[in-house]
Structure 1
């Protein structure tokens, strides 16, 4: 088969959206061109389709920082660094950096089981699993290219801590790529089951580092957010 399918989704819809309130907005860096913020797990990046899901990182940044504009997104369950543009020129510049893959990103994840190797990579094309959306799946015929490097950081009795470096930005890329290795991310309500789901009260995925070119000054800048579950 050319596609790696998943069984019908049992993931419940997002009904009781209760985003964390403290801290309301964690700002790592801000100037007149960009703002770097640390998104908590459980907070949407942008408003949801349901009118009750209006509270999000974009709204909070606009309330506290002014004309803050979303450039990229993290899944609601993922925590970590995001950059926002503070004006139209910066928004265009940063958008091009993400499009041309000029930025550098790394994540930390805790996955179920013990990885046999110290490092490796996953190069598997991904496509939306439409009957079970927003899930994604591997599809060699119609999927878009997706590549992730991984490095083992540590192990405990039942899990492994890994650093993940995506070279593409597909939806759920890190989740599905680790699943393809047989090591689902702990607490993943979309892809984990049994002990791997029950062993964590959140998705154990955190955007720890973001490197980019400052849109006005042209200098390279690196930002980091310590992993809360490492």
Structure 2
């Protein structure tokens, strides 16, 4: 965990892979970040346990409400990096569909579109059998990116819930990373980016080189 930015209103903190967001049997990310900054922090979005990367934490309930309104109106841009060991049905595109609860805490993508999850992605080949994805979710549904990736035939490598056992348990982490954030707050524009710094597959020369080419992720989703 490391602090990337803070002002009087909010902090941007990097969450490690494998850390619970909220406290369960041990202190979670939000509690640990609050202790690190010695102030009460209010989460305005969350990352799954397996997911690493950028998190916005508000420093007051008023600022938290302002961020929640930005999320609800889709005025916060989020970009993720993911690796899959399976070739997608298509190299790029949009995934749209309602999400419904499945068994044992899993979610599934439906054909209906009453209140859909919306996700766009592009992908490139890395080493043989490895695909790197740049993903932009337009909504914030539970497990949205993980389910979307599975729906195109490319479950996230290391995802013990949605990937095949041979693609999950042999790896050192789940390969989903919150890479970049862009938003306006109180008249100021903010942009943050953090390439992954943990995970054997993320740290290969091929992967790092491709991430550098995606230095301005917003340009790929115009």
**TM-score, length of structure 2 as denominator length:** 0.83
- Partner SS state of residue 155, structure 2: coil
Q: Paired residue for 2:12?
A: 36
User: Can you list the C-alpha shifts for 1:87-114, whole angstroms capped at 9, x where unaligned?
Assistant: 2221111111111111000000001223
Moved more, 135-144 or 78-87: 135-144
Question: C-alpha distance in 1, partners of 2:68/2:61?
Answer: 10
Question: C-alpha distance in 1, partners of 2:188/2:166?
Answer: 45
Contact 2:87 2:153 (C-alpha < 8 Å) held by counterparts? no
User: Can you list the C-alpha shifts for 1:163-205, whole angstroms capped at 9, x where unaligned?
Assistant: 0110111111111111111111100010112431244221100
Q: Paired residue for 1:57?
A: 29
Question: C-alpha distance in 2, partners of 1:77/1:115?
Answer: 21
Contact 1:186 1:199 (C-alpha < 8 Å) held by counterparts? no
Q: Paired residue for 1:16?
A: none
User: Can you list the C-alpha shifts for 1:57-84, whole angstroms capped at 9, x where unaligned?
Assistant: 1111221220211111000110010000
Q: Paired residue for 1:120?
A: 93
- Partner SS state of residue 184, structure 1: coil
Unaligned segments of structure 2, at least 5 residues: 208-222
Contact 1:124 1:177 (C-alpha < 8 Å) held by counterparts? no
- Partner SS state of residue 90, structure 1: helix
| Residue 71 (str. 1) matches residue 41 (str. 2) | no
**TM-score, length of structure 1 as denominator length:** 0.80
Instruction: Spell out the pairing of 1:80-229 with structure 2 (5 A cutoff).
Output: 80-115=53-88, 117-129=90-102, 132-140=103-111, 144-214=115-185, 217-228=186-197, 229=202
Contact 1:125 1:146 (C-alpha < 8 Å) held by counterparts? yes
- Partner SS state of residue 29, structure 1: strand
User: Can you list the C-alpha shifts for 1:112-149, whole angstroms capped at 9, x where unaligned?
Assistant: 223364421111221111xx232001233597401111
Question: C-alpha distance in 2, partners of 1:143/1:172?
Answer: 18
Contact 1:45 1:75 (C-alpha < 8 Å) held by counterparts? yes
Unaligned segments of structure 1, at least 5 residues: 1-24
Contact 2:97 2:112 (C-alpha < 8 Å) held by counterparts? no
Runs of 4+ in 1 over 6 A off after TM superposition: none
